[in-house]
Amino acid sequence: MEQPMGLFSMFTRRRRDDEPVDLDERSPSLGVRYRDLLLMNEIAKRAADLSQPRHVVFYLDAPSEDIGRLIAAEAGTHGFEAGVREPLPEYPGSWTVVCEIHTVLTPEFVRDSVDLFEALAERHHADYDGWEAAV
């Protein structure tokens, strides 16, 4: 006899291999968004040794220079060297905050840093624009 579908079974079903993955979802085992895992994978393909420290940069777009400086100052309290760049002519009113660090690129570092910068962006009405790392 077939069991009726339970209340939580629709939330616990396994994804089929042919179902698309939402890149903003997090890996259940690492807590890292799939889009960040893809970037880490690309870096791993090109880099000889991911256990070595490398230059990592996070970007945010602030609505003013003052807000950009607030974000940069807070990023500094987390070990990042941060600065604010003037808007590009095609994006007036969008001040780029560049936050840099030299570190080992681990899933935990990526997860915690992305969470930090997304929270800073939300709190200051800015936009988190992503990250990159040297290979």
pLDDT at 15: 52
pLDDT at 48: 66
pLDDT at 62: 98
pLDDT at 33: 87
pLDDT at 1: 40
**CB neighbour list of residue 51: distance below 8 Å, 6 or more residues apart:** 104
CB distance 117 to 58 below 8 Å: yes
Token pair listed for 122: 């939300």
C-alpha to C-alpha distance for 68 and 56, rounded to whole angstroms: 19
Q: Which amino acid is at 84?
A: V
DSSP letter (8 states) at residue 63: S
Q: Going residue by residue through the chain (135 aa), what tens digit of pLDDT does each one get?
A: 444 443 323 333 445 666 777 887 887 888 888 888 888 888 888 876 888 999 999 999 999 999 999 999 999 999 999 999 999 999 899 999 999 999 999 999 999 999 999 999 999 999 999 999 998
